[in-house]
Amino acid sequence: MEPFLAVGDLLAKAGHEVVCVMPAQFRDLVAEAGLGFAPLDRRFLELIEGASGKAIMGQKGSGLRRIGQLAQLARESLGIQRKIVVEQRNYVVQHQPDRILYHPKCIFGRAWGMANPGKATGISPIPNWLHPVREYPHIAFSTNFGRRGNLFSYRLVNFFTALMSANYNKPFAADFPALKINYSSIARYMREQERMLYLVSTTLFPRPAYWPAQARVMGYFERPKTRTWSPPVELLAFLERYRSQPITFITFGSMVNADPEKTTDSILAALKEKQVPAILNTASGGLVVRPDAPDHVFFIDKLPYEWIFPQVHSVVHHGGSGTTHTALKHGCASLIIPHIIDQFFWNKRVADLGAGPLGVKVKHLRKDNFGALLTELRQNSRYRQRAEALGAAMTAEANVAELLQALAE
């Protein structure tokens, strides 16, 4: 949600009225940002946080078993998805917006954009979504299939996206009397007209020259999150104690997994063996507090990354787009332990850019391989140097005026 809140913050400061249509769980986050809020059904996120969701994010079991878990999750979510589309439509009727900015998964926003040319814009916080990238597969896939296979992966996902958009929007055909809501019209719109602004760094992901004009890479935007936050004295004391040593920050952000205790124990065992001072962020539960952890490990439950990253040497994380951008923006060498979706892309991309070693999937994380990767992350000075160079290049990227102009076109 953060990239959308960042855009909302910029629009509000420019004098626009902003209403965020997001799952109910984000009410407090939106209130903190000072924006209007319209809640969506909370059950979708509850599904992700359930046993099947945790197993998928933690990559528990064989590939066949995970496919079964994904199918079960999809079946359970279908009814919820239909209700969410109805909620999206009802909020549009209620608020009568001049513009809609929507995530590529927001099915009603796409149909509204077809009926209101030039007034809807897709906002993607990650690359490799609607528009094909030859070197990498669609973010729904973790395996690189080569140029031809990668391009096919986009066609496959876009086919199902258009099919679902047609199916879920058919009940609202009366809202758009001049619009044909079917697979062919939606697929054509996605391919030829749908405007998509990718809010990712042009340094980390240069816009492919073969993309259509309506697909643009705008840079990475984030809102300030330290206005109401102060560091606990215990954290300040820990940072002071290890001021002369490089500290590694470890977080899995909003990711959960099927066995956070085992994952934490593997990390702690490696930290103890290597005598590495580290801060572990338990966040959403992907890592847990262990009372018997060594003294050179500090546990904390959530904190602003833009505050802590300038004070550490390196970051181990899940590879979310926001975390990846913020770590590199502050010159931190990065080791990614991917869980799902775009995290596999960022793992490969960070390694390709020379800002960190290629990480392992969370299901393969063990004391020995994590210890070896941690040593490489901290002792190979080229990773830190490369991260600092990337961070310096990123500082001149995100042009607020250009973004606001693109949203108003």
pLDDT single digits (tens) 77-91 = 777 888 999 999 999
State the average pLDDT over residues 330-344.
94
What is the distance between the alpha carbons of residues 390 and 338, in angstroms, rounded to a whole number?
21
First to last CA, the chain: 23
| Lowest-pLDDT choice from 66-70, 208-212, 300-304, 323-327 | 66-70
Q: Which CATH class is domain 2-223+396-408?
A: alpha beta
Domains 2-223+396-408 and 233-393 fall in the same CATH topology: yes
Question: Residue 243 has what pLDDT?
Answer: 92
At residue 70, the pLDDT reads: 61
- The residue extents of the domains of the chain are 2-223+396-408, 233-393
Task: Place 288 in a pLDDT band, splitting at 50, 70 and 90.
Answer: very high
Amino acid of residue 375: T
DSSP for 112-169, written as a single string: HHHHSTTSEEEEESSSSSSS-BTTB--TT--S--HHHHHHHHHHHHHHHHHHHHHHHH
**Mean pLDDT within 108-121:** 95
What is the reported pLDDT for 86? Answer: 94
pLDDT, residue 365, reads 94
Closest-CA residue to 248 (of 309, 302, 313, 299): 313
**pLDDT, mean over the chain:** 91
Report d(CA 164, CA 157) in Å as an integer: 11
Q: Give the C-alpha separation, 358 to 377, whole Å.
A: 10
Q: Is 256 helix (H, G, I), strand (E, B) or coil?
A: coil
Q: Please determine, for residue 71, whether its predicted confidence score (pLDDT) is greater than 90.
A: no
The CATH superfamily label for domain 233-393 reads Glycogen Phosphorylase B; (3.40.50.2000)
pLDDT at residue 55, rounded to an integer? 53
Contacts of 372 (CB under 8 A, 6+ apart): none
